[in-house]
Amino acid sequence: MFKHLLVPLDGSHLAEAALPAAAYLAQKLNATVTLLHVIEHDAPEEIHHERHLTDPAAACAYLDEVAQRAFPPGVRVQSHTHDTAVDDLARSLVEHTTELATPDLIVMCQHGPSGLSDWLFGHLGDKVIALGQTPVLLVRPPESPDSPATTFSHVFVPLDGSPEHEQALPAAIQLAQACSSAVHVAMVIHTLGTLPGEKAAAGRLLPGTMAAVLEMAEENAEAYLRSVIGRLHEAGLISVTAEVARGDPAPTIVSIAQRARADLVVLGTHGKVGTAAFWAGSVAPRVSDRTKIPLLLVPIPGGD
């Protein structure tokens, strides 16, 4: 499934935070890596308070240097500089997933929100998910130079019981098999106090009935996760655990990930960003903003 990794770089140390994860996965998956730099129209001289590569020749030299520096011998690394200036960086990255021998995983750095603009329009990684159908691994910059080496030994997969969100499972299974990972799956059921929208109104009008509905949902979730565990065992995964939790999905997912010592969270997402995600109550962007754990977003075709 993951045999060709695409790593966008802009010349900054922040963007290079994705390189350890890309190198780790390339070795585990025996995958090819393509390093990509896209020249932006009217690009600023600095990005993230560092140099911004705006010259194609300098960009090519930089990518070649990164290929030698960041990847061990034996990993197949190639580079590509898109030297025709573009206005929409996210769209250009998505277009390159069809131009460059079809990469099947984009690995990129994700930094936190910087203000209202990010909240309204989404991070670059979120935009790439919204525009394309290629899974995106978002990696946060390390907190210090002494941060542990990248490993994905504990994979966490939040599910909601729907077949469409199960599309994240094959990706999680492949990575767990390649990395010999333990896998933890979970479902989060709302409480009366965390119900959204119309369900919240129904809970206020008929609290007893809604409480019974939520208890039944919890029982169904337990049965569902037992079936998921069975499928994971059939896929050859040995260390598999599961739980049902109650609360607001996004913060509860982040809490479970921390408690499970997850070093990778795998989420299916419809790819809504900005105001669309806000009004739809989309979980993936809210999880992305709350955690520093690497997040693999697997696009789900179609709308909510």
186: in domain: yes
Binned at pLDDT 50, 70 and 90, residue 189 comes out as: very high
C-beta atoms surrounding 109 within 10 Å = 24
Question: Do both 231 and 205 map to the same domain?
Answer: yes
Whether residue 250 is found in the same domain as residue 165: yes
Residue 222 included in any domain: yes
* Nearest one of 121, 108, 103 to 272, comparing CA atoms: 121
Beta bridge partners of 136: 106, 297
CB 10 within 8 A of CB 92: no
Do 134 and 195 fall into the same domain?
no
DSSP alpha helix (H) spans, 153-206: 168-179, 197-205
Nearest Cα residue to 263 out of 124, 125, 118, 149: 149
Domain that holds residue 87: 4-139
Last residue of a domain, one of 108, 139, 170: 139
Query: Which of 61, 62, 83, 73 shows the shortest CA–CA distance to 15?
Result: 62
276 pLDDT higher than 60? no
Rounded to whole angstroms, how far apart are CA atoms 89 and 101?
19
In-domain check, residue 81: yes
Evaluate whether residue 303 is within a structural domain: no
Q: Using one digit for the tens of pLDDT, what is the confidence trace for 90-127?
A: 777 777 777 766 788 999 887 654 433 343 334 666 67
Residue 144 covered by a domain: no
The whole model's pTM is what?
0.86
Whole-angstrom distance, CA of residue 151 vs CA of residue 174: 15
- Distance CA(150)–CA(156), nearest Å, equals 16
Contact 105, 134 (CB under 8 A): yes
Q: Is residue 148 part of a domain?
A: no
> Domains in the chain: how many in total?
2
Confidence bin at 273 (pLDDT 50/70/90): very low
